[in-house]
């Protein structure tokens, strides 16, 4: 029988793409989401791409009883959940500054409760969505997994650091537990079918959704936040990876856990950077988008955005060596897929 994997935040951007890759790799996926930043359309999209039964539970990760029911119901149906990929979290840096308590409550308490319920059901394998934000403004780039956690740039970043620590503490009290912590750099793009993609609510904070909506005429010109940074063209540098590459990394992480590789190690957990290993500046991204789509990006130079890291990209060699994963898709392919998705979205009409 196929192993069942619970995907929390499964209606979200990365969760929905990962669900599709998991199914393709032979896993049975169970989705959970509270729709705080998504809607049922994504679930329908996943179902249509997988073309199979995909159970969905509208549950909040802070709701212990609701979580308990998910594991119980699946068990009663004969599907023991073997592993969990925990995406469910709030992720807006700006919102976290305005409402830090909400972020602590949602992200940290949600993770704590999930761990409790996993323990009650003897579910021993966890893949956790972390972020390169845990490194703050790194002293050395490319940044590797041994870089220290610097002071978090935002309450959101603090919750990711806290959740990583929570998971490691949980492990010390639960020797059979295994966790892979994935530190994502900047995921962009969409499934090539354009059936699922990134659907931010309201005005997008992130570069690519904003850029696409500017080109589609939904927003005004894109503001490039600062061109006076100490980088070759003055704009900030990030490591943009295709969301399908990122989705496939979760499959590799789960397969790694299921092969019991972690149990051979002392700690029971391992963190991996997920990025391309190459940085691109905001202005380079604009140029690449224009080249691949043939469209002009309306943009203007604006003030620096508070809290922005100047330049960060990944040393992702650990993921390559140990998980056998590396990115396959280019920046241009990712931008093209983002644009294809934008054109199909209802708000792009």
Binding residues (CB under 6 A) for ligand UFG: these are 91, 93, 131-133, 184-186, 205-207, 210, 222-225, 236, 238, 282, 305, 308
Handedness of CA 200, 184, 308, 222 (dihedral sign): negative
Q: Give the side-chain half-sphere CA count within 13 A for 19.
A: 35
Catalytic annotation on 184? no
Handedness of CA 333, 334, 336, 341 (dihedral sign): positive
Residue 37 binds ligand NAD, judged by CB under 6 A: yes
**Which residues neighbour 50 within 8 Å (Cβ) at sequence distance 6 or greater?**
19, 20, 23, 29
From ligand NAD, ligand UFG, none, interface partner of 33 (C-beta below 5 to 8 A by class): ligand NAD
Q: Which is nearer to ligand UFG, 55 or 187 (CB)?
A: 187
Tell me the residue number closest to ligand UFG, measured at CB. Answer: 236
Tokens of 255: 């397969």
Residues in the chain: 349
Distance separating alpha carbons of residues 81 and 114, to the nearest angstrom = 13
As measured in angstroms, the least distance from the Cβ of 205 to ligand UFG is: 5
Residue 271 binds ligand NAD, judged by CB under 6 A: no
**Contact pick of 14, 108, 141, 215 for ligand NAD (by CB under 6 A):** 14
Residue 152 binds ligand NAD, judged by CB under 6 A: no
The DSSP symbol for 315 reads -
Q: Give the side-chain half-sphere CA count within 13 A for 45.
A: 28
Write the binding mask 75 to 114 for ligand NAD: x where contact by CB under 6 A, - elsewhere: ------------xxxxx--------------x---x----
CB 30 within 8 A of CB 7: yes
As measured in angstroms, the least distance from the Cβ of 136 to ligand UFG is: 11
CB 7 within 8 A of CB 15: yes
Distance separating alpha carbons of residues 101 and 166, to the nearest angstrom = 17
**Contact pick of 4, 5, 6, 9 for ligand NAD (by CB under 6 A):** 9
Q: Which is nearer to ligand UFG, 74 or 239 (CB)?
A: 239
From ligand UFG, ligand NAD, none, interface partner of 108 (C-beta below 5 to 8 A by class): none
CB 35 within 8 A of CB 88: no
CB 204 within 8 A of CB 279: no
What is Dmax (Cα atoms) for the chain? 59
SS3 state of residue 187: strand
Q: Which is nearer to ligand NAD, 18 or 214 (CB)?
A: 18
Q: What residues from 154 to 213 belong to the interface with ligand NAD (CB under 6 A)? A: 184, 186-187
Distance separating alpha carbons of residues 68 and 116, to the nearest angstrom = 10
CB 18 within 8 A of CB 11: no
As measured in angstroms, the least distance from the Cβ of 182 to ligand NAD is: 8
SS3 state of residue 200: coil
As measured in angstroms, the least distance from the Cβ of 303 to ligand NAD is: 22
Residue 33 binds ligand NAD, judged by CB under 6 A: yes
Q: Which is nearer to ligand NAD, 157 or 226 (CB)?
A: 157
As measured in angstroms, the least distance from the Cβ of 1 to ligand NAD is: 27
| Per-residue b or e along 137-146, where b marks 16 or more CB atoms closer than 10 Å to that residue's CB | ebeebbbebe
From ligand NAD, ligand UFG, none, interface partner of 93 (C-beta below 5 to 8 A by class): ligand UFG
Q: List the catalytic residue out of 57, 156, 184, 210.
A: 156
**Contact pick of 15, 45, 138, 155 for ligand NAD (by CB under 6 A):** 15
Tell me the residue number closest to ligand NAD, measured at CB. Answer: 12
**Contact pick of 4, 5, 12, 312 for ligand NAD (by CB under 6 A):** 12
Catalytic residues: 156
What residue ranges bind ligand NAD (CB under 6 A)?
8-9, 11-15, 33-38, 60-62, 87-91, 106, 110, 129, 131, 184, 186-187
């Amino acid at each position: 029988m196929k192993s069942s994997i619970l995907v929390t935040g499964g209606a979200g951007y990365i969760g929905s793409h990962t669900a599709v890759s998991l199914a393709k790799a032979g896993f049975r996926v169970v989705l959970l989401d509270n729709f705080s930043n998504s809607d049922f359309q994504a679930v329908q999209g996943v179902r249509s791409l997988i073309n199979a039964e995909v159970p969905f539970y509208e549950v909040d990760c802070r709701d212990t009883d609701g979580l308990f029911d998910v594991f119980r119901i699946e068990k009663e149906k004969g599907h023991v959940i073997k592993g969990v990929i925990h995406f469910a979290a709030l992720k807006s840096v700006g919102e976290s500054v305005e409402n830090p308590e909400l972020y602590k409550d949602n992200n940290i308490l949600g993770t704590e409760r999930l761990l409790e319920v996993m323990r009650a059901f003897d579910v021993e394998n966890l893949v956790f969505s972390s972020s390169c934000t845990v490194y703050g403004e790194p002293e050395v780039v490319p940044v590797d997994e041994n870089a220290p956690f610097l002071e978090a740039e935002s309450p959101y970043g603090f919750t990711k650091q806290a959740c990583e620590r929570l998971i490691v503490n949980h492990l010390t009290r639960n020797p059979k537990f295994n966790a892979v912590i994935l530190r994502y750099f900047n995921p962009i793009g969409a499934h090539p079918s354009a059936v699922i993609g990134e659907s931010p609510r309201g005005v997008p904070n992130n570069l690519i959704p904003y850029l696409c909506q500017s080109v589609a005429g939904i927003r005004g010109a894109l503001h490039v936040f600062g061109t006076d940074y100490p980088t070759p063209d003055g704009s900030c540098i990030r490591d943009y990876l295709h969301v399908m590459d990122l989705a496939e990394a979760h499959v590799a992480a789960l397969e790694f856990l299921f092969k019991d590789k972690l149990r051979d190690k002392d700690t029971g957990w391992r963190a991996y950077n997920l990025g391309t290993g190459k940085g691109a500046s905001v202005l380079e991204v604009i140029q690449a988008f224009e080249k691949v789509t043939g469209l002009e990006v309306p943009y203007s130079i604006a003030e620096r955005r508070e809290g922005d890291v100047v330049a960060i990209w990944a040393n992702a060699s650990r993921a390559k060596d140990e998980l056998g994963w590396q990115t396959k898709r280019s920046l241009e392919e990712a931008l093209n897929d983002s644009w294809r998705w934008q054109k199909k979205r209802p708000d792009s009409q």
